Amino acid sequence: MSVRPGIEVLLTDRLSLLRGARVGAVVHPASVLSNLKHSADALFEERSFRLTALFGPQHGARGEKQDNMIESETCRDPDTQLPVYSLYAKTRWPTEEMMRDIDLLVFDLQDVGTRVYTFIYTMAYCMEACAQFGRRFVVLDRPNPVNGLQVEGNLLEREFASFVGRYPIPMRHGMTVGELALLFNKEFGIGCDLTVVPMEGWKRAMWFEQTSLPWVAPSPNLPTVDSTVVYPGMVLVEGTMLSEGRGTTRPFELIGAPHIDARQLARYMNELQLRGVYFRPVYFQPTFQKWAGAVCGGVQVHVLDREAFEPYLTGISTIAAVKALYPESFAWREPPYEYEYTKPPIEILCGGKALPRLMDAGARPEAIRASWQQDVAGFIRGRGPYLLY
C-alpha cells in the first residue's frame, strides 16, 4: 500500500490552511515528497502563500552536520536563498526575531519513534514559541518507521528531563509526530493553535518499507531502516565509553571497544536468548568519535525477527554484559551531553536512575523487561485519545 505523507496531503487537499500566509518551515534532509522533491522546494514554489524562512533541527535543515552535538549557525539556504534559522545552536527555541516575518510555522520532520531523538523536542519548543508569539502551528505527519504498535520501556522521570527526553513517555512510544504533537499540546499544557495534517494510507502495523515511500536518512548516523530498528536500545551506548559504531558504515548496529574479546561477548549475548536477534563477533575501526582509529572488538546486532525483537531490552542487556565481562575497563560517559551538564548521560538517556542500577547489578533480561510493564500499560491507555490511525 502506498502512503501519502502529510506534505502531499497539504499540497493537494489542505492548501486553505496556508493560503495568504507568511510561512516558516522546519525541515531536514528527509523532508521529501514521494518523488524525492524536498518539501522546502515544493513549499517555496507554491504561490497561494509565501514561504519566508526555514528552520533547521539537529544536523541542519539540509543535513550538513555529520556528527552529533555539532551546532549549526543561521545562514542562507543555497537553493531558495531564504534565511535558515538554527534550532540547534545558542537557542533551541524559535525567538521572536525569528518568528517576526511568519504567520504560521509548518513542521515536516521524519522522526524515528524513539524518546531520545531530539526532533520531537524541537517540535515541542516550536509549539511553545507559537503559543507565546501568537502563531499557528501545522504538523505534516509522517510514518513512525518502526511501526505504531510496539511500545517498550519505562516512562521518563520528570527530574531527568532534557533535550533527549522532556516528557514521561516510553523509550519506544509507537506514535507519529502528529500524534505526539496532539499529546504534548494537551497533556503537557503547551496550548498552541495546532493543526495536524494526517497521512493517507498509513496503518499502525507498518514498518517503513511497507509504506512505499523512499527512505532518506533523517540524521547522518541513521542511514537505513535497519539502523532505526536497533536505535531505541543501542542509543544507550552513547552513555558509555564504548563505541556505538559512529564513524563506521553501520552505526548503532555495531558496539565495541579495544579491550573487548569479540567472540566472548558474542557468545555471552547469544546465550541470553534475547528475542529476534543474533550477535555476530566483529572487529571494526571507527574513523571518528569514540575510539577513532583504534581497532575495536565487539558485536554486530543482527535483527532476525523485527516483530519479536525488543531493542531497548537488547541495548540494556548488551551494556550490562560488557560491564559484567570487563568491569575494570568499562566506564560510563561523563557529562556534558546534549546540553545537560551535571547528570550522567546514561541517566538522562534512560530517563532515571533505575535502569543504570539494574545494569550495574547485572540484572537478567526478564527482570529488566518486567520493570517497565506497568509504565507501558498506563501509557498505552493514556495515548488512546491522540491516535489518528
Tens of pLDDT, residues 352-372: 999 999 999 999 999 999 999
- Segment 254-271 shows an average pLDDT of 98
Which tens digit of pLDDT belongs to each residue from 57-70? 987 886 554 555 45
60: left (phi over 0), alpha (psi -120 to 50) or beta: left
338: left (phi over 0), alpha (psi -120 to 50) or beta: left
Whether the per-residue pLDDT at 263 is higher than 70: the answer is yes
Q: Are residues 260 and 142 both part of a single domain?
A: no
Q: Is 126 helix (H, G, I), strand (E, B) or coil?
A: helix
Report the alpha-carbon distance of residue 64 to residue 68 in Å, rounded: 11
Q: Check residues 308 and 59 and name the one with the higher pLDDT.
A: 308
Residue 77: the pLDDT is 87
Domain limits for position 301: 225-375
Report the alpha-carbon distance of residue 39 to residue 12 in Å, rounded: 13
Residue 203: the pLDDT is 98
pLDDT range class, residue 106, cuts 50, 70, 90: very high
**Quick one: what percent of the chain has pLDDT higher than 90?**
93
Q: Are residues 240 and 195 both part of a single domain?
A: no
Whether the per-residue pLDDT at 100 is higher than 60: the answer is yes
Q: Are residues 56 and 194 both part of a single domain?
A: yes
- Segment 215-232 shows an average pLDDT of 96
Bond from prior residue into 83 cis (ω within 30 degrees of 0): no
pLDDT range class, residue 51, cuts 50, 70, 90: very high
- Segment 100-106 shows an average pLDDT of 97
CA 115, 116, 119, 120 dihedral sign is positive
**CATH number for the domain harbouring residue 78:** 3.40.50.12170
pLDDT range class, residue 14, cuts 50, 70, 90: very high
| 166 belongs to a structural domain | yes
Whether the per-residue pLDDT at 19 is higher than 90: the answer is yes
**Quick one: what percent of the chain has pLDDT higher than 70?**
97
Question: End of a domain among 200, 217, 234?
Answer: 217
Whether the per-residue pLDDT at 71 is higher than 60: the answer is no
pLDDT range class, residue 1, cuts 50, 70, 90: low
Q: Are residues 153 and 257 both part of a single domain?
A: no
Cell of 254: 555495531
Residue 59: the pLDDT is 76
Residue 366: the pLDDT is 96
- Segment 146-152 shows an average pLDDT of 98
Q: Are residues 134 and 237 both part of a single domain?
A: no
Question: End of a domain among 175, 198, 217?
Answer: 217
Residue 73: the pLDDT is 64
Q: Are residues 101 and 187 both part of a single domain?
A: yes
Residue with cell 535497519: 226
pLDDT range class, residue 167, cuts 50, 70, 90: very high
| 380 belongs to a structural domain | no
Q: Are residues 171 and 49 both part of a single domain?
A: yes
- Segment 135-142 shows an average pLDDT of 98
Question: End of a domain among 169, 185, 217?
Answer: 217
> What is the phi/psi pair of residue 321, to 5°?
-65, -45
Report the alpha-carbon distance of residue 3 to residue 151 in Å, rounded: 22
Give me the amino acid identity at 146: V
Contact 32, 62 (CB under 8 A): no
> What is the phi/psi pair of residue 196, to 5°?
-110, 125
Q: How many domains, the chain?
A: 2
Contact 112, 218 (CB under 8 A): yes
The DSSP bridge partners found for residue 105 are 24, 137
Residue 69: the pLDDT is 47
Looking at every residue in the chain, the average pLDDT score rounds to 95
Which tens digit of pLDDT belongs to each residue from 191-214? 999 999 999 999 999 999 999 999
Which of 64-78, 100-114, 226-240, 250-264 shows the lowest mean pLDDT across its residues? 64-78
pTM beyond 0.75, yes or no: yes
Q: Are residues 204 and 287 both part of a single domain?
A: no
Q: Is 366 helix (H, G, I), strand (E, B) or coil?
A: helix
Whether the per-residue pLDDT at 340 is higher than 80: the answer is yes
| 68 belongs to a structural domain | yes
- Segment 290-300 shows an average pLDDT of 98
Q: Rounded to the nearest 5 degrees, what angle is found at the Cα of 22, between the Cα atoms of 19 and 25?
A: 100
- Segment 337-346 shows an average pLDDT of 95
Residue 79: the pLDDT is 85
Q: Are residues 318 and 187 both part of a single domain?
A: no
Q: Are residues 128 and 261 both part of a single domain?
A: no
| 385 belongs to a structural domain | no
